[in-house]
Chains A and B, each alone.
Chain A
Amino acid sequence: MNTLLQAEGLSYGSGDRMLIDGIDLAFAGGSFTVIIGPNGAGKSTLLRLLSGELHPSRGTVRWNGESLNAIPAWRLAHRRAVMPQASDLTFPFTVLEVASLGTQGIGRGLSRGDRRRLAHEALEQADVAHLAQRNYQTLSGGERQRVHFARVLAQLTAGRTLETQQILFLDEPIASLDLKHQLALLQTARTLARDGLCVIAVLHDLQLSADLADDLVLLERGRLIGRGTPGAVLTPTRLAEVFGVTLNASPLPPSPWRLAVA
């Protein structure tokens, strides 16, 4: 495996309250990894450590061997984009302006027209182009999430003028989306992964995670419990242990209304 991002002995927290405790993980381009686990397992904290936002208490995260926290913010911004859980804006930015934040200062040799085109294309891709001139503050939660998806897509496209290997981090990207847009967003993420991007997402929906992810990372109380294909990670015993519920992990659709994801 061609490792892009590598965590070694990654820990975050202090004393007896370790939010992330001694995790070793490697991620490669062209894969869609989903981090799962019960509430408070440390999924978002792990994502923030891997994206460079938090500095580990112990251990390291390396990008192609280079310590993540030694990479300047502007360069990192060309290599990875992070879609936040939820975001409130105090000021009346338009949707187009929010998406354009993904291209401001990112990329090399892009004209003003190029950047505008990138932002528009990203809005199309996230199905919010019709809202381009709307005030972001007046949008619903789901629409806001799609705008931020557009913003990170624009950022990655702009960043590709400088960096070829990129990571997309998604922190519960579908929490407020309707079904259609949940599937559309995850499909887009998966297509990007097929094209060589490394996608790392935190998801709550085990069904969707199992259907879409190449790889699952299962966390419990800050520790890594399992890593591998959905079939290997989501065993009935593990589900019972970690989530405290009896689930039937079967390779076949358990009910007629089970979503078929192509």
Chain B
Amino acid sequence: MTALALHDGGPRFALRERTALLLAALAALVLLTSLAALGLGATGLAPARVFGIVADALTGRTAAMEGDALIVLQVRLPRLLLGLLIGAALASSGALMQGLFRNPLADPGLVGVSAGAALAAAATIVLGDALLAPLIGPLPFHALPVGAFAGGLLTTLALYLVATRGGRTSIATMLLAGVAFGALSGAIMGLFSYLSDDRQLRDLAFWSLGSLSGATWTKVTAATPFILPMLLATPFLARGLNALSLGEAEAYHLGVPVQRVKALAILFVAVAVGASVAAAGMIGFVGIVVPHVLRLLAGADHRMLLPASALLGAALLVAADTVARTVAAPAELPIGILTAAIGAPFFLWLLLRRPGGMAL
């Protein structure tokens, strides 16, 4: 196994050194992709020029918002930051959910947050004009993200309540309830697209494929308070998730407040993914692929896995977005197409190389 090769062969680094090395490499990767994202596009900019513009802006020496400075500071920078935030959020959420469900196939979608957000967004797109507009006038610009966010949270809450009996949350029940809800929401989504007119259908399709093209500073500042807490909190959940890998009873025996860890992880994921989906639509597979790659490279310790997932997720999403907006310029691919096109075959490969089939 690749994972074993790294553990057994070659010069042995102490765990901490290896973790530090990996995290440093990933941080460098984030910087590189960020530079590429700021420099590449219809107007190509050299790294030195990008540095100059950003440095000027930070020191308040930007004379006028025009030309290259305008492109970098008002278009590419907010898009980069939103991509970093959402990539980090999706990948860490995936790692958190996989640890919590003790299942390498879990992703944020399993707690119902994506399905709920998608359903609410579809409802806003299709029914908003007909039902809400007569009451409150034309829908405000942010009705869709707010609706998606609320839908994701409410769904997660409902699934959590279904799975909780006598103060204990059954992770297995939540998984099954999530599958059932996913099927139901798929059916309702189908009904909505049947009801939609052409414009609504296009909105639906665009939104469900995900895109960072709507990135603005407003979106960045709106998403940050929902995503940052999760990124800051994950290191404190790492030990609990490590112990949870042995099972809930074993984690309790090791002194982990199991119920609290479960509730916090689910809450953080629901909020962060809800905000991500609201800001950029549905972006699939980042949450599954990133933690998997890292486990193969460096093992399963969540103290490494969680921060590393955030970094690699951020780098991956920004890289995918840069490709999405340059490969067919001036047109833009929805980023969800790219991540799914890379993610799905990778996922199949994972299934094929697993010895002895899949244990769920």
Contacts and interface: CB of A to CB of B under 8 A. Distances in A.
Contacts of B246: 84, 87, 89, 98, 101
B332 interface: no
Contact of A90 (B7, B102, B242, B253): B102
Contacts of B242: 93, 97, 101, 104
Interface in B318-332: none
Given A74-B255, A93-B245, A84 B250 contact: yes
A133 B318 CA distance: 35
Interface size range on A against B? 35 or more
Quick one: which of B1, B252, B258 has the most chain A CB within 10 A?
B252
A106 interface: yes
Contact of A106 (B3, B250, B254, B257): B254
A92 interface: yes
A90 B299 contact: no
A257 interface: no
A92 B295 contact: yes
A93 B257 contact: no
Nearest to A106: B255
Contact of B299 (A73, A80, A92, A102): A92
Contacts of B239: 104-105
Contact of B301 (A80, A93, A105): A93
A190 B99 CA distance: 36
Contacts, number: 91
A96 to B, nearest CB: 9
A90 to B, nearest CB: 5
Given A53-B249, A97-B299, A101-B242, A88 B359 contact: yes
Interface string B223-259: 0000000000000000100110111011011111110
Contacts of A84: 246-247, 249-250
A179 B16 CA distance: 38
A198 interface: no
Contacts of A73: 252, 255-258
B5 to A, nearest CB: 11
A223 interface: no
B256 A90 contact: no
Interface string B295-312: 100011100000000000
Given A72-B257, A90-B102, A97-B300, 11 more contacts: A73-B255, A73-B257, A82-B253, A84-B249, A91-B300, A93-B242, A97-B301, A104-B242, A105-B239, A134-B4, A138-B1
Interface of B: 1, 3-4, 7-8, 16, 98-99, 102-104, 239, 242-243, 245-247, 249-250, 252-258, 295, 299-301, 359
20 contacts: A53-B252, A72-B257, A74-B257, A84-B249, A87-B247, A90-B103, A91-B295, A92-B3, A92-B299, A93-B300, A94-B299, A97-B301, A101-B243, A105-B255, A105-B256, A106-B254, A106-B255, A133-B7, A133-B8, A138-B1
